[in-house]
Amino acid sequence: MASLNLRGAGSGRSRTKWKDVNDIVRQKGLSLLAVQETHLTDEYLDILKMRYKYLEIVSSPDPDNASGKGGVAIILNRSNTCWQEITTEVIVPGRALGVTVRWGHASKLKVVAIYAPSGNHVENANFWTALKERWDGTPEDRPDVLLGDLNMVESGIDRLPANTDPEMVVGAFRDLKESCSLIDGWMATHMTEKPQYTYRTMRRDAANARSRIDRIYLRENLFDLSYEWTIVDSGIERLNHYLITAYVATSVT
């Protein structure tokens, strides 16, 4: 599975990114790809479904400006998933989208794709608190996998230059993470290695910053079944986010 922020793919030249997405899913053999900042209207979603027959695209656009901002989607590879049997849930329109999919022969995964609020620490913290409260009320709906663009980091080491996010943000996210028993798989795998980053600014007149705001979290029991955690260039032009990937097996496959 994987996640990638598309930095807008809903109009004009940016729509060519969907061909790139199709190529990434097929060439890498991905079963599931979460994408953020899709800028995807329902009308253009219908076009994509007709154009890319190997992809099953579940989308939640921004409710106020579908083609101009935000939006999150989960893309399933029809050739290696039971895409006909999925159940979906729009948790927060344009921000949090859930899919339950069969994984292996006898297992199911609840996957939640995230595009968290950016530029406002209060909104970001409130977003995590609202998700925690929702899942505290229905624990059976807690995700097995949470992935996407979180627009925050848990530790200053995940920013270059190093910089910690406000405690209100970090604390709210950690409360959610702990209540769902989630592990940052890349960090747990590469803890002793040189930091890597999933996002970079693209300034021409100043020093650029980097961060690891895109992450994949797994339930603790799933982490032991995961491998090949990577951060790689997607190959899509003018994209300031990297593709994050992990392979997740099941106890019965």
The confidence score (pLDDT) of residue 207 equals 80
> Is-contact 92 123, C-beta < 8 A?
no
- Quick one: what percent of the chain has pLDDT higher than 70? 97
The confidence score (pLDDT) of residue 119 equals 94
Give the 3-state DSSP-derived string for the chain, with helices as H, strands as E and coil as C.
CEEEECCCCCCHHHHHHHHHHHHHHHHCCCCEEEEECCCCCHHHHHHHHHHCCCEEEEEECCCCCCCCCCCEEEEEECCCCCHHHCEEEEEECCCEEEEEEEECCCEEEEEEEEECCCCCHHHHHHHHHHHHHHHHHCHHHCCCEEEEECCCCCCHHHEECCCCCCHHHHHHHHHHHHHCCEEEHHHHHHCCCCCCCCEECCCCCCCCCEECCEEEEEEHHHHCCEEEEEEECCCCCCCCECEEEEEECCCCC
pLDDT exceeds 50 at position 147: yes
pLDDT exceeds 50 at position 181: yes
Name the pairing type of β-strands 243-248 and 210-211.
Answer: unpaired
Report how far residue 60's alpha carbon sits from residue 74's, in angstroms, rounded to the nearest whole number. 9
The tens digit of pLDDT for each residue in 154-174 reads 999 999 999 999 999 999 999
Structure tokens at 61: 């656009």
Fold of 2-248: Deoxyribonuclease I; Chain A (3.60.10)
pLDDT exceeds 60 at position 253: no
The confidence score (pLDDT) of residue 186 equals 97
pLDDT exceeds 90 at position 122: yes
What is the chain's mean pLDDT, rounded? 95
pLDDT exceeds 80 at position 190: yes
The tens digit of pLDDT for each residue in 2-14 reads 999 999 876 666 7
Rounded to an integer, the average pLDDT of 115-130 is: 98
The tens digit of pLDDT for each residue in 49-62 reads 999 999 999 999 99
Query: Lowest-confidence range among 21-25, 146-150, 186-190, 237-241?
Result: 237-241
The confidence score (pLDDT) of residue 203 equals 79
Rounded to an integer, the average pLDDT of 230-234 is: 97
The confidence score (pLDDT) of residue 14 equals 72
